Structure 1
Amino acid sequence: MILELSFLFLLLLLYLYVTDRKPSNMPPGPTEIPILGGMPVLDEKQAHPLREKYGDIVTVRTGAIRTVILFDYKTSKEVMARADMAGRPDIFKAFSIDEQKTGGIALSEGPQWQHDRRFMLRNLRNLGMGKTYLEDAVHVEAEALVEDLKKYDQQPIAYPDSFRTAALNIIWQMTASRRYDLRSEEVKLIYEASKDLQSSSMALTMMPFFFPFLRKLPNILQKIFFKQNLVDAFIEKMRATITKTVDEHEEQLDLDNPRDLIDEYLKEMKEQEHDKETLYRKGALLQIVNDLFDAGSDTINTTIKWVVYVLARYPQVTKKIQHEIDEVVPRDRMVSLQDKPNLPYVEAFITEILRFSSLTGLNVEHTAMQDTTIEGYFIPKGTVVVNSNYAIHFDPQYWDQPHNFSPERFIDEDGKFQAPKEGFFAFSSGRRQCPAETLARMEVFLFATAIIQNLEILVPDGVQLSDDTHNLLGIRVPVSDTFIYKPRS
């Protein structure tokens, strides 16, 4: 009996090896183990050794998922512009609050994604994105943020939630005609759920997504081993908040006077309610609003953290920026977008922040929507494809001494700001390029200059700043996070 079972087991292993092995002519990578693949590559620190060993295009496999990682700028730019690479992995659907799992602009693909993206861009532009009058709204939040930081009375504090809420308020006013108090308890509940998820072991939390059979385990086991309850809690808190906001808009809707993006969508839904082919659905709206909530708060929030860290880490840079601002802008008014041409070092500083931080060390994943090739390598349909922003931003081919923080690399010989032409991927590229890049750049410029103009960022006594970062749900954040915010004299 034992002999027969051993023989059947060997046959099963042989079957798995033959049917589950890596297709020929895929990019090189670590040896795959049938079913298991290998350990997941979740951040740039795990990915970097692969480039050194296998080159600029590498295949890794975790469980059922094969991922091709692109480390080179030119290849990344060419691939991300292709229609056959505009898909999203199926595992993203687990984080969608749309019951059909097809709506929104971040996690979806295909006709619904194209429709939702066009709607969002059109209406955000109409509501002020890219227009100077939105600057007043950012100034309100920037001033409120500075005053909130002063309230800590020069006590050492970790990055406060007000960073995130100030950023959220910009997109939320355009989306839902509402702003939160910078210490709002309502959004604090969402932040806490997000922090609980971030503090868990992401390698374990993501295992059921890489190994689908693990999702069939009893809920109690998924909770114990993979912290699935933290994922579910975060999604449910987001669903409840977004649904409440949309329901309130439905009750108050005035078709003749839409106030914001939600009203505009509900108006389109009403006008097309008898069209069986319409892509205007409440589920899709919930996910669009959810995407805007996340993108409007997380990215700018983390960028502000990097601004604060760099100001404290490099005081000589801070003095130079403050001097330039003080020379151009009177202390009794805030920096304006109109001041930009006269603040080349500030622009260079912010651009270097975007390069040096490389917020998403590994960019958001794409998938191949059909069998295709990259640089002659075969890429099967459904393969996850991701580029390494970190590798691009620290590539000596494009950046002299890339690990040095140096705004001067963006200043030309005439002392003017010089935008990067190659080797820069902060807002991605191609069909999935950040749709709100203009708004993001405006916010970072105005929030950063408000902090620089009004506050000194100091390191608490006895604290040695670290150059290390950690990865929080795919976003790079400085390990050092506690600072003193002292009003400038």
Structure 2
Amino acid sequence: MLSLFLSALNIQTFLIGIVVLLTVYKLRQRWQYKLPPGPFAWPLIGNYEVMQAKFLHDICAKYTKIYGPVFTIKLGPFQMVILNDINSVTEALVRRKADFANRPFMKSVDVFTEGRKDIAFANYTPTWKLHRKIAGKALRQYLAGNRLEEVVHSSMKKCLSLMAKENGPFDPENYIDLMVFNILHAVCFGKRFMKIENFTETKKRLIGRFVSDYVSICPTININSLNFRRKLLMLKCLCHEETFDCCNIRDFTDSLILARNEAEQDEEMMSQLTDTHLRQTLVDIFRGGIDTSRVTLYFVVRYMAGLPDIQSKVQEEIDRVVGKDRLPRIKDRESLSYTEATLHEAMRLGTVSAFGLPHCTLCDTQVGGYDVPKDTMVMINHWALHHDPNYWKDVEKFDPTRFLDENGKLGMKPESWLPFSAGRRVCLGETIAKPELHLIFAMIMQRFEITMPDGTNPELKLSGSGVIPQPAPFKIIVKDKKIK
């Protein structure tokens, strides 16, 4: 009995010691630096109110009113500075871009990215700079000409034909997921992922787990020894009886290898860019593009269903510029200004990546008049930027014209619109995502009139949680405009 008491006492003493050390460390930081303010945080636990919040952007809106646009919160062991207005974000990502260009270390991410040999989560190093440069060059080479357009047209024609068979109200999520999944799979791996007719049975089990399963097996592959250029992997399907086809990724992989070989760097630098880095480039593009693109389209379809006047203006522009006898093309974007503005407004109001990926400071630096010590995690509140009443008139109103100039053309990018981030860590896939999303949206609007079932509240409600909000589940009715 005495031994149990002493054990309990030792544990209690140990925990008290940790709390005291953390408190002393925090006070020392307060004396040494002018740190951003923030709510009280329990040692080891963090801010209980933040942990209980359904959406992080909601609680940050509350704290902005109390502490200003730059403040500190803590979630468990992670203490982070949150930037909530465009001035502080511009200072960090543009004027002090190198200071905030690192990524915080997280063990799960380190495993997932094979030692952070990807682009999205890797630290800001000379190797990372070369890796990103080569990946960007490979994407430009691979998608030159009409390649992206052909991939989108091929997938969309089949998906839209399936949607047209729906006779009553239905949730478009399955179709949108498959559109995006097939397009990205074709870009990265050279072919559509699966037979489109079977998607309703397999999608739920595949979409959410494909990337993690893919990455878990990736370390066993070697580009040279297993003919990586031709067949990436034979993966077992998550359904019991179906298997993945072998993925022919020769074209894009060759683009990556060619870009690497053409890079003008010394041998020591090039030796640091391994086949693992190339493999992780594919994972980055595939993993990074699925959720953001599909949820963006889910938002824009929901907005169009509840806003028939705006939908009709989009369709009138598409009918006038493109007509009904051919599919929209990427080169039509510059003439489809209202369509593009509508997509941009959906990306503003329905901010998919509310906080993006976390940044980390490379050195002691400053933002918003506060000190930010080295190795501090920093989060960009994109939701706050896109809902800031200081920059957006009638902030909750869906108004595409705010992106147009006096001539009805797409104007300069609004200052507080930052869906792809900025600075050294701007989204690598932005050059793919913009034309891809525009083309998908234009093809949906060209083909269908979208309405909501009778009695449905047209006001959009949010679902999801944490940092990834999305529309609450909804149903639509589509009328095929091709059928007279």
Indicate how the Cα distance of structure 1 residues 311 and 186 shifts in structure 2: closer, same or farther if over 3 A, else same.
closer
Task: Please state if 1:19 is matched with 2:25.
Answer: yes
Indicate how the Cα distance of structure 1 residues 424 and 43 shifts in structure 2: closer, same or farther if over 3 A, else same.
same
Which residue of 2 is the match for residue 368 of structure 1? 361
Q: 1:302 & 1:248 partners in 2: Cα distance?
A: 37
Please tell me whether the aligned partners of residues 20 and 34 of structure 1 are also in contact (alpha carbons under 8 angstroms).
no
The CA deviation at 1:12 is 5.8
Q: 2:90 & 2:250 partners in 1: Cα distance?
A: 38
Which residue of 2 is the match for residue 442 of structure 1? 435
Which residue of 2 is the match for residue 91 of structure 1? 106
Q: Deviations over 1:275-321 (max 9, x none)?
A: 77612334333322211111232222111111210111111111121
- Which residue of 422, 425, 430 maps to 2:423? 430
Structure 1 stretch 115-124 or stretch 185-194: which is displaced more?
Answer: 185-194
- Which residue of 205, 214, 217 maps to 1:192? 205
- Which residue of 40, 44, 58 maps to 1:35? 44
Residue 290 of structure 1 aligns to which amino acid in structure 2? V
Which residue of 2 is the match for residue 421 of structure 1? 414
Which stretches in structure 1 are left out of the alignment for 5+ residues? 196-232
Indicate how the Cα distance of structure 1 residues 241 and 458 shifts in structure 2: closer, same or farther if over 3 A, else same.
farther
Please tell me whether the aligned partners of residues 124 and 174 of structure 1 are also in contact (alpha carbons under 8 angstroms).
no
Indicate how the Cα distance of structure 1 residues 247 and 179 shifts in structure 2: closer, same or farther if over 3 A, else same.
farther
Indicate how the Cα distance of structure 1 residues 240 and 155 shifts in structure 2: closer, same or farther if over 3 A, else same.
farther
Aligned pairs for 1:138-287 (under 5 A) are 138-151=152-165, 153-181=166-194, 183=196, 191-192=204-205, 195=208, 236-239=212-215, 250-251=226-227, 253=229, 259-265=250-256, 278-287=271-280
Q: 2:161 & 2:388 partners in 1: Cα distance?
A: 39
Residue 162 of structure 1 aligns to which amino acid in structure 2? Y
Identity in percent: 27
The CA deviation at 1:245 is 8.8
Please tell me whether the aligned partners of residues 466 and 480 of structure 1 are also in contact (alpha carbons under 8 angstroms).
no
- Which residue of 127, 135, 140 maps to 1:125? 140
Residue 148 of structure 1 aligns to which amino acid in structure 2? L
Aligned pairs for 1:68-87 (under 5 A) are 68-81=81-94, 82-87=97-102
Indicate how the Cα distance of structure 1 residues 17 and 145 shifts in structure 2: closer, same or farther if over 3 A, else same.
same
Indicate how the Cα distance of structure 1 residues 251 and 420 shifts in structure 2: closer, same or farther if over 3 A, else same.
closer
RMSD across aligned positions (CA): 3.4
Count how many residue pairs are aligned between Structure 1 and Structure 2: 445
Please tell me whether the aligned partners of residues 361 and 475 of structure 1 are also in contact (alpha carbons under 8 angstroms).
yes
Q: What SS does the corresponding residue of 2:309 show, helix, strand or coil? A: helix
Task: Please state if 1:65 is matched with 2:78.
Answer: yes
Which stretches in structure 2 are left out of the alignment for 5+ residues? 231-248
- Which residue of 473, 477, 481 maps to 2:474? 481
The CA deviation at 1:60 is 0.6
The CA deviation at 1:17 is 1.9
Q: What SS does the corresponding residue of 1:319 show, helix, strand or coil? A: helix
The CA deviation at 1:243 is 6.7
Please tell me whether the aligned partners of residues 292 and 353 of structure 2 are also in contact (alpha carbons under 8 angstroms).
no
Task: Please state if 1:296 is matched with 2:305.
Answer: no
Q: Deviations over 1:182-240 (max 9, x none)?
A: 63769986753665xxxxxxxxxxxxxxxxxxxxxxxxxxxxxxxxxxxxx77642325
> What TM-score does the superposition give when structure 2 sets the normalisation length?
0.81
Residue 143 of structure 1 aligns to which amino acid in structure 2? K
The CA deviation at 1:328 is 2.5
Residue 113 of structure 1 aligns to which amino acid in structure 2? W
Please tell me whether the aligned partners of residues 98 and 286 of structure 1 are also in contact (alpha carbons under 8 angstroms).
no
Please tell me whether the aligned partners of residues 353 and 467 of structure 2 are also in contact (alpha carbons under 8 angstroms).
yes
Please tell me whether the aligned partners of residues 81 and 377 of structure 2 are also in contact (alpha carbons under 8 angstroms).
yes
Indicate how the Cα distance of structure 1 residues 243 and 165 shifts in structure 2: closer, same or farther if over 3 A, else same.
farther
Structure 1 stretch 309-318 or stretch 157-166: which is displaced more?
Answer: 157-166
Q: 1:16 & 1:467 partners in 2: Cα distance?
A: 44
Residue 477 of structure 1 aligns to which amino acid in structure 2? Q
Please tell me whether the aligned partners of residues 172 and 475 of structure 2 are also in contact (alpha carbons under 8 angstroms).
yes
The CA deviation at 1:417 is 2.7
Q: 2:261 & 2:195 partners in 1: Cα distance?
A: 34
Task: Please state if 1:345 is matched with 2:338.
Answer: yes
Which residue of 1 is the match for residue 120 of structure 2? 106
Indicate how the Cα distance of structure 1 residues 22 and 413 shifts in structure 2: closer, same or farther if over 3 A, else same.
farther
Q: What SS does the corresponding residue of 2:29 show, helix, strand or coil? A: coil
Indicate how the Cα distance of structure 1 residues 284 and 405 shifts in structure 2: closer, same or farther if over 3 A, else same.
same
The CA deviation at 1:338 is 3.2
Please tell me whether the aligned partners of residues 190 and 238 of structure 1 are also in contact (alpha carbons under 8 angstroms).
no
Structure 1 stretch 408-417 or stretch 364-373: which is displaced more?
Answer: 408-417
Q: What SS does the corresponding residue of 1:427 show, helix, strand or coil? A: coil
